[in-house]
Amino acid sequence: MFEIKQQIYEFSSPHGLDLHHDIPTITFRGAFGYALAQVIARDACVPGLENQVALYRRIFMPQKDESQESRNLDLARPFVMHGFYSRPDRRSFLLQILLFGCAANYSAFFERVVEVMSYMGLGKNNQVCHFEKVNEASLEIADPEPSERLLVHFLAPCSRLKSQGQIWLEDIPFRALFARLLDRILELDNLYGTGDLKEKWDLHALKQQSVEILSTCLDGGVYAANRTSGRTGQTMKLDGFVGEMLYEGDFSPYREIIKYLPYVSLGRFSAFGCGWSRIKYI
pLDDT digits (tens, 9 = 90+) for 182-200: 999 999 999 999 888 888 8
User: Three-class SS of residue 152?
Assistant: strand
List Cα–Cα distances, 119 to 11, 17, 34, 196, 271, in angstroms.
11, 13, 12, 41, 22
What pLDDT does residue 225 have?
Answer: 87
pLDDT band for position 67 (50/70/90)? low
Find out whether 122 and 27 touch, Cβ atoms under 8 Å.
yes
- Distance between CA atoms of 112 and 130, rounded to whole angstroms? 14
Question: Whole-prediction pTM value?
Answer: 0.89
Q: How many CA atoms lie within 13 A of 199 on its CB side?
A: 5
Residue 46's region, left for phi above 0, alpha for psi from -120 to 50, else beta, is: beta
